Structure formats: C-alpha cells, structure tokens
Structure 1
Amino acid sequence: MPIQLEHANITVADAKATAQQLCQLFDWTVRWEGASLDDGYSVHVGSKDSYLALYSPKGVTTGQATRYVHAAGLNHVGLIVDDLDAMEARVKAAGYEPHSHADYEPGRRFYFDGPGGVEYELVRYD
C-alpha cells in the first residue's frame, strides 16, 4: 500500500469557528472534537479518508508566523477539486479573495487566505 497523508495538525485561534467555515466552504464534516493537549481544544474536519486537525490552545494564540520564511512553518494546504471555477466562485461568495492564479502542467490553481488565517491552494488537474 502506498503511503497516504491522513491528517495535518494546525494551530488556529478558534478551532470550532474555523471548522464550521471549512465545512461550509468544502462540504467537509466534523470527524471528532474535544479536549486536547494542554487544556486546548481540537476539531478534526475533512472527509472519511483525510482531515485537518484544528487545535486551539488554552488562552490566546500569539500571532501568526510569516509564511515561507520559518523552518517547519505551514505555508499552505493544497486541495484537489473537481471544478476549479465553481470553487473560486464559492470562495469569493464566502468573502475570501483568490490570488496567485496559475496554469501549469498538468493543471490550474489559485490560492486564498482562508479560515483561521491558513492559506489554501485549490488545484484542478486536467
């Protein structure tokens, strides 16, 4: 069996709110939620095969690291979609601004800064 990514764990200020927005945007479901590490709270949101573990620490988070310059930092989450144009319309309708559109071999993509301050790349392979 090939190795497959099951989940990524991301710290966000409000795991419940971020999960709710991702469910609306991507038609995902909450797989699990509850108390977690150091009195924090986690919500696992995604599909039956993979998910994002959204973690909110107890108390206030301390800002956001600049993308693409911190070792081991999260730059973006890439997601494959069936209809890139429809997803772009959905992203805009949710109040997010798509950017960095590109056509490349073998597909097309765009990015947006989404729920929880996380950047997402949506890609459609031809």
Structure 2
Amino acid sequence: MTAQLEHTNFTVSDPAATADWMCDLFGWHIRWQGAAIAGGHTIHVGTDTHYLALYSPQAPEKPRQSNYTTIGGLNHLAVTTDDLDALETRIKAHGFTTGNHADYEPGRRFYFHDADGIEYEVVQYD
C-alpha cells in the first residue's frame, strides 16, 4: 500500500487573491470554499486530485522568523511545468520576481515569493 499526498493546508493573508493568481498561472480551479476554524475562511484550489487549502484566520499574525530555521515551518511549495520559460514570463507579468535559477539533474528550476512571502519553486524535468 502506498499513501498519496492529497492536500496541504497553510495560512495566507487573502485566500481569494492567492487562489486567483494560482488559478491563472497554474491552470488550477477552486474546488471548495467556506467558513473555517477560528472564524476564518478557507479556499481549496488545485486539480481534481490534489489541492492546497488556503486558510486565513479571523486575526492572522505576521511570521516571526524564517521558515527555513523554524521546526515545522513551510520552506517552499514546488510545482512542475512542461514549459518553464513560458510560465516564468507569466509569473513575472503578475508582478512576482523570479530568481535562483538553476539547471540540475534531471531538469531546470527557479523560485519566486508571493505577497505573503511564501516561496515557490517551479521545475521543468527533462
């Protein structure tokens, strides 16, 4: 028996705004949205089989330190694409800054941060 990742749930400042750019850039769709714990709101955005739960509590707090040095912190999310250059052009058109480009076995990648400071890795495998 093999388990499969179904979703990841993380906190953002504006689930609707985050879901909007994810749908536009990644070709995803909103699967569900509604009230959530602590008076918050959640939007499930992704594909028919995998999604991200974008949660915002009624009174969100700003992060206090780098996720890379915090046990249990979210370091980054990664998505794959068949056309790295085209997706990078679209990401930049949304106002995000890309960086840390690298070619590595077995592909190419770059990173960008969203308005909440969440880091995304975009990968194209050869």
Q: Distance in 2 between matches of 1:29 and 1:117?
A: 22
What stretches of structure 1 of length at least 5 have no aligned partner? none
Q: Deviations over 1:31-53 (max 9, x none)?
A: 00000111110000011111110
The two structures, once aligned, show a CA RMSD in angstroms of 1.2
Letter aligned with residue 88 of structure 1 = E
Q: CA deviation at 1:116?
A: 3.6
What is the rounded CA distance, in whole Å, between the counterparts of 1:89 and 1:16 in structure 2?
Answer: 23
Tell me the distance in 2 between the aligned counterparts of 1:116 and 1:4: 27
- Pairing 1:105–2:105 present: yes
Displaced runs of 4 or more, over 6 A: none
Distance 1:7 1:110 in 2: 23
Distance, in Å, in 1 between the alignment partners of 2:34 and 2:120 is 25
Unpaired segments of 5 or more residues in structure 2? none
Q: TM-score, normalised by structure 1?
A: 0.93
Question: Shift in Å at residue 62 of structure 1?
Answer: 1.4
1:62 matched to 2:61: yes
> Is the contact made by 1:18 and 1:116 (CA closer than 8 Å) also made in structure 2?
no
Equivalent position SS for 1:117? coil
Match of 1:85 in 2: 85
Q: Map 1:14-25 to 2 at 5 A.
A: 14-25=14-25
Q: What letter is aligned with 2:36?
A: S
* Count of residues in Structure 1 that have an aligned counterpart in Structure 2: 125
The two structures have a TM-score, normalised by structure 2, of 0.93
The separation in 1 between residues aligned to 2:58 and 2:112, in whole angstroms, is 27
Deviation at 1:117, TM superposition (A): 2.8
Q: Percent identity?
A: 52
